[in-house]
Amino acid sequence: MTSLDILFGAVGLITAASAVLAVTTQQLVHAALWLVVALGTLAGCYLILGAELVALVQLLVYVGAVVVLVLFALMLTRAPMGRSPEHSSSAVQRIAAAVIAAGTTSLLAAVLLPALGGEVLSARTGDTKAIATQLFGAWVWPFELLSVLLLMALIAALAVSRMPTTSPTSPVPAETEST
């Protein structure tokens, strides 16, 4: 057990706990906030692992943008405040979910841990320049594709949200063919 081990263990524990809480809490906004905690501590994990750029981006994009979007969405969909069991599925489905989750975890663990669990890694820091070089050098093609993806996602999101719609209480609108 090195100090880094302990550090990672502590941060990781928080991450894991907040992740579990994020998917189990009965309060909508709490779920989003637990997600913030989980993603934030995960950024800490990245830092411990020596990926400072990734950690930064994680904080910027995920915590800064994604979670804000999620919160907005919760508000726009008039999410009720306070505890509400309505957000979770039926008991049967939750039990199934637990089984599947346990299965997924153990499957991954059964595959990953025996093979690699014994290894150690020594974190290297200060790699940001190399990453930048590779990102715009070797990985330029996926990077460019990614830019197209972002652009189109933006346009798509705009187009979908600006779509003319009727009020939810009105009867089903007449089916129209766009062709």
Residues 119-138 that bind other proteins (CB under 8 A): 119-124, 127, 129-131, 133-135, 137-138
CB of 112 to other proteins, least distance (A): 5
Cβ neighbours for 115, distance < 8 A, ≥ 6 positions apart: none
Residue 83 or 87 having the CB closest to other proteins: 87
Segment 62 to 121, residues that bind other proteins, using CB under 8 A: 62, 65-66, 69-70, 72-74, 76-79, 86-90, 93-94, 96-98, 100-121
CB of 81 to other proteins, least distance (A): 13
Q: Chain centroid to CA 14: how far?
A: 16
Tell me how long the chain is.
Answer: 179
Q: What number of chain residues touch other proteins (CB under 8 A)?
A: 122
Q: Taking CB under 8 A as the rule, does residue 53 contact other proteins?
A: yes
CB of 67 to other proteins, least distance (A): 9
Segment 30 to 49, residues that bind other proteins, using CB under 8 A: 31-32, 35, 38-39, 42, 45-46, 48-49
The one-letter amino acid at 81 = M
Half-sphere exposure of residue 41, counting CA atoms within 13 Å on the CB side?
Answer: 18
Q: Which residues of 8-35 are buried (b: 16+ CB within 10 A; e: fewer)?
A: beebbebbeebbebbeebebbbbbbbbb
Of the candidates 26, 18, 22, 168, the residue with the CA atom closest to the CA atom of residue 89: 26
Segment 150 to 169, residues that bind other proteins, using CB under 8 A: 150, 152-161, 163-169
